[in-house]
Amino acid sequence: MEISLSKRLSKIAPSPTLALTAKVKALKAKGEDIVGFAAGEPDFDTPEPIKEACIQALREGFTKYTATGGIPELKEAVCNWIMEKRGLKYSPSQALVCCGAKHALYNLFQALLEEGDEVLIPAPYWVTYKDQVAIAGGVPVIVPTDIASGFVPDPEALKEACSPKTRAIVLNSPSNPSGVALSRRQLEAIAGVVVEKNLLVVSDEIYAEIVYDGFRQESIASLGLELYERTFVVDGVSKTFAMTGFRIGYIMGDPKVIKAMNMIQDQSTSNPTSIAQKAALKALTLKEDVVSPMVRKFHDRRDLMLAGMKRIEGVRCFKPAGAFYLFPDMRFLLGRKTPKGVSLETSAVLAEALLEEAKLAAVPGEAFGMPGFLRFSYATGEEEIQKGMDRLYEFCSSLRM
């Protein structure tokens, strides 16, 4: 029997990063010694007090449905956190707790988009935006950036990409995959286009606390009332507190839209997991600072990986101010041949050859709308980073023209 799938599905694709992570896991399970730079999550264990709060909630029988959009204490904690970290004032009626930031984005596009509405997505982008816009009936409009301008979206290019159907722009700073973090001045330039073209802003700030060298990520929502009213701030505990598996994210913005998203959530997932909410509440209200030690480690790993990149002649890679990825330009390798005779025509082929021949996993730029690049995650131990960078060096040295 041939079962047909909905036509909507033809517009989306499986997540290439998750697919690669699964392949690496399978190879490792077979006993292969793979160095994994493909992961999109912190390798740290969730801090102990957060785990304890979850266990306690379980013991206390906090195992029933909660309010769909999150327990009131968590909504309040989320508002306080964003006030403290980014100086943004929201009331609980402007906040919704979801099953991860990914889910918050999904609900938002479902709530906002009409069939054919266009959404600007600067490339390189986190792949999910494009598919979520498409499945909501929208049209993702990719606006390329380049490494020469530090992957910062060019206001003129954004303006030119607008049509009467453009509803929103997605911003992700610090960025996955590039690690680029937008300064206030750069945000102001983008904000100019947003106001002129009457756009909404989807501001994915999931890496805002993972920043280095004194950089402080500001939210575009903090650039005045006009921006505040058009912006949806998306964040979560996954990256900041090494809690990816708990699936708690949140979104803040216009109360009418938040209410609509709550309704979508009512009719789909209902509340995020009760005990995970308690864990997130603990994370956001901890007196002790569990984040800085992780950020310091990420910082040292970034520098270690960057030093490894610098050893390889031809690599162009700048020092990212946030997140935990390097996104080097590998185009200089294209066209060369591996010892096994594979011709490296694209970065996708390069990533495959790296995995097969050098036992090193990295995600090809194709996954982020920027072919020719590779994403290396440094959310892994220093020894692994050293080993992986040695492998990359040897692999690059072994290639023939």
Ligand X SMILES: *Cc1c(COP(=O)(O)O)cnc(C)c1O
In the complex, the residues that contact ligand X under the rule CB under 6 A are: 40, 100-102, 126, 172, 176, 204, 206, 236, 238-239, 244, 249
At residue 110, what is the residue type?
Q
Question: In angstroms, what is the minimal distance from the CB of 46 to ligand X?
Answer: 13
Q: Which residues contact 131 (CB under 8 A, 6 or more apart)?
A: 11, 12, 13, 15
Which of residues 201 and 206 has its CB atom nearest to ligand X in the complex?
206
Contact 34, 360 (CB under 8 A): yes
Least distance CB 100 / ligand X (angstroms): 3
Query: Shortest approach of ligand X to residue 126 CB, angstroms?
Result: 4
What's the rounded Cα separation, in Å, for the pair 154 and 152?
Answer: 6
Q: Whose Cβ is closer to ligand X: residue 353's or residue 365's?
A: 365
| Among the listed residues 374, 388, 382, the one whose alpha carbon sits nearest the alpha carbon of residue 178 | 374
For ligand X, the nearest residue by Cβ is 100
CB of 178 to ligand X, least distance (A): 11
Question: In the bound complex, what is the minimum distance in angstroms from residue 335's beta carbon to ligand X?
Answer: 31
**Residue number, 204 or 218, with CB nearest to ligand X:** 204
CB of 358 to ligand X, least distance (A): 25
Helix (H) or strand (E) holding 129: helix 128-135
Q: How many helices (DSSP H) and strands (DSSP E) are in the chain?
A: 13, 12
DSSP secondary structure letters along 331-371: GGGTT-B-TT--B--SHHHHHHHHHHHH-EE-EEGGGGT-T
b/e map of 58-89 (b: 16 or more CB within 10 Å)?
A: eeeeeeeebebbbbeebbbbbbebbeebbebe
In terms of CB distance, is 41 or 254 closer to ligand X?
41
Q: How far is the CB of 362 from ligand X (least distance, A)?
A: 16
Between the CA of residue 258 and those of 92, 96, 233, what are the distances in Å?
A: 10, 6, 11
Task: Tell me whether residue 94 or residue 377 sits nearer to ligand X (CB atom).
Answer: 377
State both tokens at 145.
């950036």
- Choose between 173 and 338: whose C-beta lies nearer to ligand X: 173
Nearest CB to ligand X, comparing residues 238 and 380? 238
